[in-house]
Amino acid sequence: MNLRLERVELREIGLPLKSPFETSFGRTTRRRILIIRVFDRDGASGYGECVAFETPLFNHETIDTAWLITAKHIAPMLAAAQIESASQVKDALAPIRENRMAKAGVEAAIWDLEAKLMALPLWQHIGGTRDEITCGVSIGLQSSIAALLDKVSRELDSGYQRIKIKIKPGQDVALVEAVRKRFPDITLSVDANSAYRLETDVPLLKRLDDYSLLMIEQPLTPGDLLDHSKLQRELRTPLCLDESILCLANARHANELGACRIINIKLGRVGGFSEGKAIQAFARKHDMPVWCGGMLEAGIGRAHNIALSTLPGFTLPGDVSASARYWDEDIIEPPVMVSCEGTIKAPGGPGIGFEINEDRIESLTVRRETVSVSS
């Protein structure tokens, strides 16, 4: 491929969630989303969505830091690098430390552009091997156990293949016990978003072993692979790492230490498709299942997640679900829809394979900036 990039357009849109999403680190009621559009010199374009939240509570990035890093550092570095294909973006941006969500938004847009220029579905262009993916849902902390059971019941009725519930200290074993009692046979997992400590919480986390969970996701601090490996040795339930895995090296270290048995891959968290694919390939070689995580994405991010989920190592249902669970109206057409068997069909059109509702994006836009990336 001979890409000739011309400019990067940044836009911030505001989008209210249909219902608030609560995790151990906080409650989200609306998203401020950075949309990236890259243009080549012939006017063709591709879209990416930066998944950074408004607050630095999931990781250090925010939409505001990502905007600044993209406009002031990523775009100039891309201009200087004169990349010719999407696969070169990762190395071209490697001098910029961390800021993976900012890099991933731009890289995703370039992958979409490249796939469109090649008239290929993005999922095929990145090496995906299945045209249908399996879906689970992530259910936030609820106001009561009754409300939680009601939500679980409705998601199961929709066909979702795996239920994940958020937990935090004080809202953990009782929630799992109630869900397991009402739904003895479902595939169930929990996600703590780093809310527990090895020093104090091993006895409590061991109690979760009684509920045949598929996995316990990210119980401890993101940087602490060693403590996760100590915890994993105390548990029968597989640990899954999310916040801890930022790159291939982290996956390798986690595997060698026995810090987890499953990895959740999020494009933003690992810095894009190139790194995500490397982690997927490593995990596959080591018989470690991976699945695609979610960051409450609007349609563009959701479309990129669908593409990622078609790679061969993605053997567990991901947190990629229907647009209608999040938004009254998405920014893509058609919205992401899930079959009654809990699957999403990977689209057959070029690039991300969804139409972008440009009028809707325009009406939701609160700021924009265009940066040249031609040399």
Contacting residues toward ligand OSB, per CB under 6 A: 23, 58, 138, 191, 193, 242, 293-296, 319
Residues in the chain: 375
The 8-class DSSP code of residue 73 comes to I
- Cα separations (Å) of 289 from 182, 186, 238, 253, 282? 28, 19, 11, 16, 10
Specify the residue, 107 or 319, whose C-beta has the smaller distance to Mg ion.
319
Q: Which two tokens stand for residue 129?
A: 């091997």
Residue 23 — φ and ψ, nearest 5°? -120, 180
Question: 228 in the Ramachandran plot: left (φ > 0), alpha (ψ -120 to 50) or beta?
Answer: alpha
Q: Is 285 an annotated catalytic residue?
A: no
Smallest separation, CB 13 to Mg ion (Å)? 24
Q: How far is the CB of 291 from Mg ion (least distance, A)?
A: 11
Residues 6+ apart with CB under 8 A from 94: none
Residue of minimal CB distance from ligand OSB? 294
Contacts of 19 (CB under 8 A, 6+ apart): none
Interacting span for Mg ion (CB under 5 A) from 5-13, 139-147, 212-220, 298-306: 212-220
Active-site residue (options: 103, 116, 168, 266): 266
Query: Is residue 242 at the binding interface for Mg ion, with CB under 5 A as the rule?
Result: yes
Total residues binding Mg ion (CB under 5 A) = 3
Alpha-carbon distance 339 to 322, whole Å?
9
| CB-based contact 126:308 (threshold 8 Å) | yes
Burial environment of residue 186 by CB neighbours within 10 A (0 to 12, 13 to 18, 19 or more): middle
Q: Write out the two tokens for 258.
A: 């026995």
Q: Residue from 22, 112, 172, 191 that binds Mg ion (CB under 5 A)?
A: 191
Q: Is 244 helix (H, G, I), strand (E, B) or coil?
A: coil
Q: Rounded to the nearest whole angstrom, what is the least distance from the CB of residue 96 to ligand OSB in the complex?
A: 23
Q: How far is the CB of 311 from Mg ion (least distance, A)?
A: 19
Smallest distance, Å, CB 293 to ligand OSB? Answer: 5
Q: Which does 319 bind (CB under 5 to 8 A by kind): Mg ion, ligand OSB, none?
A: ligand OSB
- Which of 107/217 has CB closer to Mg ion? 217
Nearer to ligand OSB, 77 or 240 (CB): 240
With respect to ligand OSB, which residue has the nearer C-beta, 86 or 245?
245
Active-site position among 103, 116, 166, 277: 166
Q: Which is nearer to ligand OSB, 39 or 160 (CB)?
A: 160
**Shortest gap between Cβ of 86 and Mg ion (angstroms)?**
27
Nearer to ligand OSB, 244 or 280 (CB): 244
What residue 24 binds from ligand OSB, Mg ion, none (CB within 5 to 8 A, per partner kind)? none
354 contacts 334 by C-beta, under 8 angstroms: yes
Which option in ligand OSB, Mg ion, none does residue 23 bind, with CB closer than 5 to 8 A by kind?
A: ligand OSB
Longest Cα–Cα distance of the chain, Å, equals: 62
| 168 a catalytic residue | no
Q: What are the residues facing 314 on neighbouring strands?
A: 290
Q: Tell me the catalytic residues.
A: 166, 266
